[in-house]
Structure formats: C-alpha cells, structure tokens
C-alpha cells in the first residue's frame, strides 16, 4: 500500500526538535513515519528515536518506511499517555526531544476502513487503536439524546447538535446506525439544505466530535501534558502540532502554567511565584504552516504548532 500521508510542518518541527544528533528523541504518534523519517535523517551515531502509536496497521507501514534506520529506532505499540512508563521500561529517565503530532493520518482517513470519512461507506468504528474501547457505532446507538447533543456541542460546537442528536435517536429506533455513509446521509438530510456549510460537508463536525469522544482525545492530551516536562532534560524540546482549537487550547494553557507556576496569594508578590518555570514557550501564539504547504497539503491548513524548551 502506498503512503498517502504528508507530514505537516515537517521542517519547522524537526529542525526545532533535534538539537543534539546523538540524543534521544520520541515521536509520540509515529503514524506512517513521515516526521520520524526526517528525525532519523538528522540523527547521528548513538542517537535513538522511540516511536509510539496505538494503530497496528500504521505501525506496520512505519516499520517498512523506517527500515533503513533500524539501528537507531524502536517502534512500540503504546499510547503516548503512557510515555513515562515506556521510558522507564527502557531504562531512560529523560530525553532530548518529544514530538506530538495530533489528529489522524491521511492513511487512517482514506485507507483504514474504519469509518473516519463521511465520504466512504465503511463500518462506523473510528477507534485509532483497533481494539480499544467502544466503537462510534456502539456509542451513538446507546447513549442518551442529551449525551449525544452534549458531545456534538462540546467537541465540535455543532450548532445543529440538538437536531442531529434527535435524528440519530429517531433513526436508531428503526435500525442501528452502523456505517459512515448511513450517518453522513442522515445528517445531510437533517440539517436544512439552505443551512449547509459552504466550505465543509454538513457531517464534518459530527464526525470530528465522535472521533474525539471514541478515542478520549482531549483527556489523553491533558494527561500527557501533565507529565511531559519532567520527561525532558534541561534544554530538551517539546513540539506539539494541533488541528483544532480544543486541542490547541490545552497546549496553550499548559505552556502558560509551566512558565508561571502561580502558587500563593496574588497580593504578595514575593510568594507569588514559588516555583521557577518548568518550560518556556519559544514563540508565543504558535506557528502556522506557510501558504505553499497549505496549497500542497490541504490537511495542514488547520495546523498550529507550539514549541518550547525545558528550563
């Protein structure tokens, strides 16, 4: 199978990440290995790259693509939430750089057969790691109409959340919703045509919110961000690439809290900042892909990259 996925902001991210060619690095979401390939190219003798992903089929593709770097790479099927445990198991306490490229890969969207795309007719699964937790189909066929509505609003700000949630519940009383096409058609016919968004498919937000819910994506990011500074050496670097504002907000907030541990009453400036900063963000506001990249790879258009260093 050919690899359709183009790594996003690959030069910007890898140039910042790799400071010492003989250092130890982590790619938390190897996918089909786009970023990892570039990281390997910049590493020298003694350098080591640890790659994680929860999707076995992506890992197989990454293994193939990265086979010429076998000597410096370890690919492990594990969630990045457990990065601390993975490193401990390898006898590593701190690393020189950690990359987290969020979202899903074009490979998963187009070729995994798991119902990520509203343009295809596939079983409505949406689990990134094939065997973890409930599928999107199980989710929408069982939860209450209020929970459905809440999820569509919380994870995608879908303005038609109430209407869509009701339509799903009504539909599932007749037959279970089991395919991506079935769901996409249901939403298309539920949102009045004159209100269909102009630039995106009317089912875009529903699909996004289900994917986030099924994979616990925001919880994963939060629990990763709680642990990550302590896994970096002094001067070690963190790069996070997000694809929507809910993800980016968590990263932004984390950088803010690392820079300024506000403990103690605000009135007393002496006690105000008890802890020295843990990490420093390198560019406030984050970085966006250039025009040329967005044109060549539309998937990159929503990307925002935040980078920082352990101090």
Among 33-41, 88-96, 204-212, 262-270, which window interacts with ligand SAH (CB under 6 A)? 33-41
Question: Is residue 78 within 8 Å of 51, Cβ to Cβ?
Answer: no
Please report whether residue 55 would count as binding ligand SAH according to CB under 6 A: yes
User: How far apart (Å, rounded) are the C-alpha atoms in residues 177 and 20?
Assistant: 51
User: How far apart (Å, rounded) are the C-alpha atoms in residues 36 and 53?
Assistant: 12
Strands annotated E in the chain: 24-27, 48-53, 73-77, 95-101, 232-242, 279-281, 304-310
Task: List strands edge to edge, sheet with 279-281.
Answer: 73-77, 48-53, 24-27, 95-101, 232-242, 304-310, 279-281
Please report whether residue 97 would count as binding ligand SAH according to CB under 6 A: no
Choose between 43 and 168: whose C-beta lies nearer to ligand SAH: 43
Please report whether residue 220 would count as binding ligand SAH according to CB under 6 A: yes
Choose between 60 and 253: whose C-beta lies nearer to ligand SAH: 60
Residues 132 to 191 in contact with ligand SAH, rule: CB under 6 A: none
Among 32-40, 90-98, 186-194, 293-301, which window interacts with ligand SAH (CB under 6 A)? 32-40
Residue of the chain from 12, 14, 73, 79 that contacts ligand SAH (CB under 6 A): 79
Q: State the nearest-atom distance from the C-beta of 194 to ligand SAH, in Å.
A: 35
Inter-CA distances, 153 with 126, 137, 188, Å: 19, 18, 18
| Alpha-helix residue ranges (DSSP H) falling in 175-284 | 180-190, 204-215, 217-227, 245-259, 269-272
User: How far apart (Å, rounded) are the C-alpha atoms in residues 62 and 36?
Assistant: 9
Choose between 108 and 149: whose C-beta lies nearer to ligand SAH: 108
Tell me, by CB under 6 A, how many residues bind ligand SAH. 25
Residue of the chain from 35, 211, 237, 244 that contacts ligand SAH (CB under 6 A): 35
Please report whether residue 101 would count as binding ligand SAH according to CB under 6 A: yes
Among 97-105, 141-149, 271-279, 289-297, which window interacts with ligand SAH (CB under 6 A)? 97-105
**3-state secondary structure at position 263:** coil
Residues forming contacts to ligand SAH in the complex (CB under 6 A) are: 5, 7, 28-29, 31-35, 52-55, 58, 79-81, 101, 103-105, 108, 128, 215, 220
């Amino acid at each position: 199978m050919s690899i359709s996925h183009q790594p996003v902001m690959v030069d910007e991210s890898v140039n910042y990440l790799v400071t010492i060619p003989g250092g130890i690095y982590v790619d938390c979401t190897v996918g089909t290995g786009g970023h990892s390939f570039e990281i390997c190219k910049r590493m020298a003798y003694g350098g080591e790259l640890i790659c994680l992903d929860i999707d076995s089929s992506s890992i197989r593709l990454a293994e193939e693509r990265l086979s010429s770097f076998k000597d410096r790479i370890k690919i492990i099927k594990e969630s990045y939430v457990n990065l601390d445990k993975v490193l401990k198991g390898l006898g590593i306490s701190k690393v020189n750089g950690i990359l987290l490229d969020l979202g899903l890969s074009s490979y998963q969207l187009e070729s995994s057969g798991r119902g990520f795309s509203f343009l295809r007719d596939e079983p409505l699964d949406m689990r990134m790691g094939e065997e973890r937790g409930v599928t999107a189909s199980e989710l929408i066929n069982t939860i209450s109409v209020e929970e459905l509505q809440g999820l569509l609003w919380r994870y995608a700000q879908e303005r038609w959340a109430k209407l869509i949630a009701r339509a799903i519940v009504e539909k599932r009383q007749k037959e279970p919703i089991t395919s991506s096409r079935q769901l996409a058609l249901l939403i298309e016919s539920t949102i009045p045509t004159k209100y269909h968004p102009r630039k995106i498919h009317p089912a875009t937000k529903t699909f996004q919110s289900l994917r986030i819910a099924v994979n616990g994506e925001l919880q994963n990011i939060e629990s990763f961000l709680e642990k990550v500074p302590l896994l970096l050496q002094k001067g070690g670097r963190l790069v996070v690439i997000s694809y929507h504002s809910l993800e980016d907000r968590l990263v932004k907030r984390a950088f803010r809290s690392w820079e300024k541990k506000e403990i103690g009453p605000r009135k007393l400036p002496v006690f105000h900042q008890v802890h020295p900063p843990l990490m420093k963000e390198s560019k406030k506001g984050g970085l966006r892909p250039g025009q040329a990249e967005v044109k060549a790879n539309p998937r990159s258009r929503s990307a925002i990259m935040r980078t920082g260093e352990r101090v």
